[in-house]
């Protein structure tokens, strides 16, 4: 190969190297800045094909899509000094590439740390001026709106970052407080159960007393009716005896004596000591059944 051809090839290679070092591409999802000897000379470089000075210029690219920061759960105090464990997340976006680079040197990890610290302070301030009821249910949306607005102002001015949204995923009580709450709830439920049991026992005693009273009334009424019936029976029996006696007094007396003998001598081992001249033995002393 001739020296001229070699020279042309060398020049072409040099031109190719210089050209490749002068051309760069910014993707659609990114924006960039151009540094010359470390000094910012161009910012907000839009996506597309661009040129730079080789060696002396440096291009830094940053993701300008909406990013999500899932913050770790932290404990905050309400205005009543009640602790709450808050789990939150933040969506953010690089809004001013120049400010973002100057404040973070383009390091996304450092940007996340700064953002996390500011959000933590903002949440602490917002929880500190509200009651537990307000942050749990009453004013949670208002809290998020105010915090997003306040953080947007600070982060945009200092770091070139736009806060798209701040959301709370969950609010819980600390484990120690939860145990105390559960213990108090259990105590309240046990107290309520004891009250129900006491009312039940009181009601049972009332029912039992009423049943006993009704039993006594029913038994008394039954006894009264039985005595009336027994009296009526005795009256009828007395009338029958009277009628029988009036028809044949001697036979009636004899029949009653036989009945008495049967009852008195029903058992062979019975011993009866009486006066032989008593009226009880009057018919036994008469072989003819007639009184002397």
Can you spell out the DSSP letters for 85-138? EEEEEEEEEE--HHHHHHHHTT-HHHHHHHHHHHHHHHHHHHHHTS-HHIIIII
Cα–Cα distance, 216 to 202 (Å, whole number): 21
Position 48 in a domain: yes
225 and 282 share one domain: no
**Contact, 117 vs 151, CB < 8 A?**
no
83 and 54 share one domain: no
139 and 72 share one domain: yes
Q: Distance from CA of residue 201 to its chain's centroid?
A: 29
pLDDT at residue 29 in the model: 83
Domain region containing 282: 249-292
Half-sphere exposure of 117 (CA within 13 A, CB side): 8
CATH number at residue 162: 3.30.479.30
pLDDT at residue 216 in the model: 92
Position 177 in a domain: no
155 and 197 share one domain: no
b/e code 149-169 from CB counts within 10 Å (16+ = b):
ebbbeebeeebbbbbeebebe
Cα–Cα distance, 43 to 93 (Å, whole number): 16
57 and 75 share one domain: no
**Which DSSP string corresponds to 248-263?**
-HHHHHHHHHHHHHHH
pLDDT at residue 95 in the model: 86
104 and 128 share one domain: yes
222 and 138 share one domain: no
pLDDT at residue 85 in the model: 87
151 and 99 share one domain: yes
Position 179 in a domain: no
Place of tokens 């009332």: 206
211 and 289 share one domain: no
Position 201 in a domain: yes
pLDDT at residue 292 in the model: 44
91 and 167 share one domain: yes
Question: Phi/psi class of residue 237: alpha, beta or left (left: φ > 0; alpha: ψ in -120 to 50)?
Answer: alpha
Best CA proximity match to 82, nearest among 142, 145, 172, 182: 172
pLDDT at residue 144 in the model: 84
Position 181 in a domain: no
At residue 105, φ and ψ (nearest 5 deg) are 60, 25
The encoded tokens of residue 154 equal: 């600070």
pLDDT at residue 277 in the model: 66
The encoded tokens of residue 197 equal: 């049991």
Cα–Cα distance, 88 to 144 (Å, whole number): 10
Position 42 in a domain: yes
222 and 283 share one domain: no
The encoded tokens of residue 160 equal: 């070139």
Domain count, the chain: 4
Position 238 in a domain: yes
Q: Whole-prediction pTM value?
A: 0.52
236 and 274 share one domain: no
* Domain boundary residue, one of 22, 38, 62: 62
Q: Is 16 helix (H, G, I), strand (E, B) or coil?
A: helix
pLDDT at residue 139 in the model: 72
Position 215 in a domain: yes
b/e code 11-20 from CB counts within 10 Å (16+ = b):
eeeeeeeeee
Tens of pLDDT, residue by residue, the chain (292 residues) = 677 666 767 666 765 666 566 787 888 888 888 888 877 787 778 888 877 877 788 888 888 888 888 888 888 888 888 888 888 899 998 888 888 888 888 788 888 898 888 889 888 888 888 888 887 776 777 888 888 888 888 888 888 889 888 888 888 877 776 566 677 788 888 888 888 899 999 899 999 999 999 999 999 999 999 999 989 898 888 888 778 777 777 777 777 777 777 777 677 676 767 666 666 666 666 655 454 4
């Amino acid at each position: 190969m001739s020296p001229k051809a070699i020279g042309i090839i060398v020049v072409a290679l040099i031109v190719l190297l210089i050209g490749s070092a002068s051309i760069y591409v910014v993707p659609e999802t990114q924006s960039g800045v151009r540094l010359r000897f470390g000094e910012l000379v161009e910012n907000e470089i839009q996506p597309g094909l661009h040129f730079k000075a080789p060696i002396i210029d440096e291009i830094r690219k940053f993701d300008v899509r909406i990013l999500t920061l899932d913050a770790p759960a932290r404990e905050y105090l309400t205005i009543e000094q009640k602790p709450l464990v808050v789990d939150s997340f933040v969506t953010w976006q690089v809004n001013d590439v120049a400010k973002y680079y100057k404040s973070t040197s383009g390091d996304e990890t450092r940007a996340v740390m700064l953002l996390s610290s500011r959000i933590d302070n903002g949440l602490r301030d917002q929880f500190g001026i509200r009651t537990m009821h307000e942050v749990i249910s009453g004013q949670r949306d208002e809290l998020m709106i105010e915090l997003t607005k306040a953080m947007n102002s600070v982060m945009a001015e200092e770091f070139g970052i736009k806060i798209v949204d701040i959301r709370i995923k969950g609010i819980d009580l600390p484990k120690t407080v939860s145990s105390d709450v559960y213990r108090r709830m259990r105590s309240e439920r046990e107290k309520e159960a004891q009250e129900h049991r006491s009312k039940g026992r009181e009601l049972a005693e009332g029912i039992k007393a009423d049943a006993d009273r009704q039993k006594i009334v029913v038994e008394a009424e039954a006894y009264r009716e039985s005595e009336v019936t027994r009296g009526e029976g005795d009256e009828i029996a007395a009338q029958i005896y009277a009628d029988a006696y009036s028809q044949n007094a001697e036979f009636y007396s004899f029949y009653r004596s036989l009945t008495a003998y049967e009852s008195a001598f029903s058992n062979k081992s019975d011993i009866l000591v009486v006066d032989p001249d008593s009226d009880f033995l009057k018919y036994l002393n008469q072989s003819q059944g007639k009184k002397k």
